[in-house]
Chain A
């Protein structure tokens, strides 16, 4: 593990993007930042500006309306960037699958590195997915 990939795996800054979820997953993401789960242990900080972030957490089914915005947000992120689909809606659009206005998952719009399932996801599950992603970042060159 080189110095740079060590630094990348130890300092994931997170931006959170809601593509139209029911807010359950968003609340669980916030629960991760609160004292009980506190993902700042891993160095993760929630950032407001997308230009500062390394990891984009996407929650909710990607609707036609939000697709362009999601793409634009994704393109504004500086490389190297990683996307995590949080929740069943983001991974496969869940109960909305097949609806006329919904894409079948975030990965049909932008490349996704890690999927976290659950409806809503548990904070433990988010931490599990995050640590999986960090391991992957640390192994990559």
Chain B
């Protein structure tokens, strides 16, 4: 690899569409989520921090970084200090798989569809350990709920993606994107898969109606109850990046990823724009779901996932098979 190539690859990973871009994009998505959620509730949401509160997530992040970082005496020191880092690292790595500025992510290899779903599971496991390591009874309850919930939504999530991968005849994200050049999958039988994916993503991100692991009214803050300062900032950032990742993944699988009409020479910029618009659409759907529903009980989550989401995903799978 020549020196220039080396520099370009490094810039791709670190600046665009890598870490720095994803960092600001995730803060923007959190702002969009909060603002849209507030508007749906007839509130105004963040307003005075920057233009229409645009800098609110950044202010939250900096404030949390500058706060005291308490490590309670009786926690598992190693897990307590390592899990925020692992969660952040995993979610940042996951976003490198996303095709943002071209039809290919920064990291692209055969089977990255499977890896992207695997990473979601890994994030779930690290968060589980984060809750468990504090030995706080609320945190342990939250972590247990997280795992129970994962048993529910993980299989429908995977099956909803199988329909797409089957149609594209590939396990490569870039192939899936290219196969949607004429026809987005959301317009076919995979629309059912999109619905399943949206609900599963909601559960993965622990948002209402699946926010049992951090249900504020029942178990205070769930698994992250004892985290403060820097570690909490890392968890929040990891959550936001995961939000970007899941919205981007939904856009990639069902909405044609970054593809769209382009002008010669401006392709990466336009692709990024299309990607952001499409994933913002997914985020808007997620936010509407968040504003629309109330929290479910854990048994209701399980029965919802196994009785409705899983058959729906299987039905989609069968439909795709029939059409092929």
Contact = CB atoms under 8 A, between A and B. Distances in A.
B37 to A, nearest CB: 10
B67 A40 contact: no
Given A7-B59, A41-B47, A54-B63, A79 B68 contact: yes
Interface string B200-222: 00000000000000001100110
A126 to B, nearest CB: 16
Given A35-B42, A41-B44, A48 B59 contact: no
Interface residues of A, number: 24
A52 interface: yes
B119 interface: no
B277 interface: no
A43 B69 CA distance: 21
Interface string B56-70: 101111110011111
Interface string B66-101: 111110000000000000000000000000000000
Nearest to A12: B63
A10 B56 contact: yes
Nearest to A4: B66
B66 A78 contact: no
Interface string A68-95: 0000000010111000000000000000
A2 to B, nearest CB: 10
B224 interface: yes
Interface string A1-23: 00110111011000000000000
A43 B224 CA distance: 20
A40 B228 contact: no
Contact of B70 (A11, A35, A51): A51
Interface string B6-47: 000000000000000000000000000010001001111111
B225 A11 contact: no
Given A7-B66, A41-B46, A51-B228, A35 B41 contact: yes
B38 A40 contact: yes
Given A48-B221, A49-B224, A49-B225, A40 B62 contact: no
Of listed B44, B58, B62, B67, residue having the most chain A CB within 10 A? B67
Nearest to B47: A41
A4 B229 CA distance: 13
Nearest to A42: B48
A4 B38 CA distance: 26
B49 interface: yes
A135 interface: no
A122 to B, nearest CB: 19
A38 interface: yes
A47 interface: yes
Given A41-B44, A80-B67, A3 B216 contact: no
A48 B227 CA distance: 12
A72 B62 CA distance: 27
8 contacts: A4-B63, A10-B55, A41-B45, A48-B225, A51-B226, A52-B228, A54-B63, A78-B69
Which 8 interchain pairs have the tightest Cβ spacing?
A7-B62, A49-B221, A78-B68, A10-B59, A79-B68, A48-B216, A51-B228, A41-B47
